[in-house]
Amino acid sequence: MNIIKKSLIIAAMGAALSSSSYAITTGNSVVYITGSTGFRGTINTWFASQAGGSGYSNNLVAWDGGTSNSLANFAAAKNLAYTNIPVTVNGTPTNVDVVFAFGGSEAGIQATFAPTNNPKQLSFYNIGALTSATGMTNTVAAGSDVYHTNANTSFQTPTMTFSDTSQAASYFQGGTMSQDGVTYLKCNVAAGVTGGASGTGGQKIAVLPFGFYASKNAPFTNLSSGAWYDILTTVGGVPMSELTGSTNDDTTNSIYLQPVGRNVDSGTRMNMQAMAHIPKTVNFQQVKPTASGGLITAINLEINATINGISQLAGNNGESSGGTVAGFLTNDGTSYGTYLVGYIALADSVAKYPGGIVPLTYNGVQGRAYSVASTTNPSINPAWSNAALGGSIGGLGYLDQGYTNIITGAYPYWGYEHVMYNTNTASNATVAGATVALYNSFVSTNNGIRSLSSTNTFMYGGIKLEDMQIQRSGTTVDGGPVAPGAALQ
């Protein structure tokens, strides 16, 4: 994102926060969009940059982005509601309301492609139930109306989802019965899918980098694939000597390594398993730490749970948010005898880098990471790229080694970001048409999300498909082998 465009978005944010008019009840049809939390920064920023640069932020009536109008908070919001978004349906201009709820790639695929006789609805802001401004002090114009951060919600069926993985790699593949006993619709993608349902569509729009990190003050900077499998699957963790090679870490320091990570709703997890060739049948031993004053005081296995209708044993469960996992990693486990190792998307590392998380190379190759100190193996120095924290913009165009390693295929932990839609569950013809219209604008190579994801939007992590010098192949693409050539569809 260039400096001019970034300034326009921030200006639009300020205008929206200082606005005192609200269209609480519009009478419009509503399009519900869900999916990936790891890519939401790019999606939110793109949506705010439309309409000639002033953006749709003036149409924003509810969000969970907090009390600050910073671009970073806007990009981090998971729930947003907009009114009166202009679209063209069957040649006729009209307005619709658009509500986003970013809850996870897997839940998004499940809800979007569930059959009409067995819907899997998600919670979205209910625009029709919004009341006068509540819960937020305006930071731009004191005394004027504010966003409705305590907005009411209702369960709805989305017609569009963003996902860090393809449907073919998900638990809800379509066309065959899934583990929850339901057969989901199969999405037609741009390259063509045999047996895909009519009224559906989808394509890749970006590459999303992920990375491995250790908790604060961990003395190692590399993670081997073999050690990672052992850490992830061994009850009680493994001795740190498996990474460091020092027997002192076993006999004198007694340091163990234990994994933290996401639940099965996560595209970050799905990509990690595909890349590391870990079958879905393998049970993880992920933990949930307790900390006080930045120090780990207790470690417990993640509790058993049912996620998206699929039962997970203790340890095989995980967190619903990458931000939570990143937060775990900001705690020092030295005195407790445990360092944590986890996997998160780039945007989550940007948010938590002041906490001292330690980026790790994978099999000795550097990914696209963000860290507080240049001595802990960052691919970019935060002094060059702290615009995410409201600082200078000078580093946003920096082409770091992690970026180079991803586009050339040297670093394997990345995935394609997909956008997919299903108009079969649309509440009316306007919603169906608006869904397709919004999808077409998202995937446009001229000014769509694909054009915003680039080498210089480091905060959000998306890399342009056109930048890639390699592509992934294989039955599911996700985690598959790489070959020369950019995958543009």
Task: Please state the length of the chain.
Answer: 489
Report d(CA 313, CA 23) in Å as an integer.
Answer: 46
In angstroms, what CA-CA distances link 383 with 3, 299, 356, 394, 455? Answer: 17, 34, 15, 9, 17
* Average pLDDT of the residues in 150-165: 89
CA-to-CA distance for 299 and 287, rounded, in angstroms?
6
Residue-level pLDDT at 66: 66
- Determine the average pLDDT of the residues in 169-191: 87
Residue 398: which pLDDT band, with cuts at 50, 70 and 90? very low
Complete DSSP assignment for 375-427: GG--SS-TTT--GGGT---TTTT---HHHHHHHTTSS--EEEEEEEEEGGG-S
Name which of 58-72, 73-87, 294-308, 402-416 the model is least confident about: 58-72
CB 110 within 8 A of CB 120: yes
- Between 99 and 445, whose confidence is greater? 99
Q: How high is the pLDDT of residue 280?
A: 86
DSSP label of 466: G
Integer CA distances (angstroms), 381 to 9, 419, 451, in order: 25, 32, 25
Are the C-beta atoms of residues 108 and 161 closer than 8 Å to each other? yes
| Distance of alpha carbon 380 from alpha carbon 369, whole angstroms | 7
In this prediction the pTM is 0.83
Ordered structural domains, the chain, with CATH: 3-208+415-484 (no CATH), 209-412 (3.40.190.10)
Q: Which stretches within 183-321 are classed as H helix?
A: 225-233, 241-244, 248-251, 267-276
**Whole-number pLDDT of residue 250:** 65
**Mean per-residue pLDDT for 134-148?**
39
Q: Closest Cα partner for 366 from 353, 356, 351, 376? A: 376
Q: What does the DSSP assignment read for 156-215?
A: E--SEEEESS-GGGSS--SSSB-TTS-BPPPPPPTT--TTPPTTEEEEEEEEEEEEEEE-
For 426-447, letters b (16+ CB in 10 Å) and e give: beeebbbbbbbbbbebbbeeee
Beta bridge partners of 414: 209
For 121-130, the pLDDT digits (tens) are: 999 998 877 6
Asked whether the beta carbons of 166 and 405 are under 8 A apart, the reply is: no
| pLDDT attached to residue 16 | 42
Identify which has the larger pLDDT, 350 or 255. 255
Is 37 a residue whose pLDDT tops 90?
no
Which pLDDT band, with edges at 50, 70 and 90, does 68 fall under?
low
Query: Burial code of 262-276, b = ≥16 C-beta within 10 A, e = fewer?
Result: bbbbbbbbbbbbbbb
What rounded mean pLDDT belongs to the chain?
78
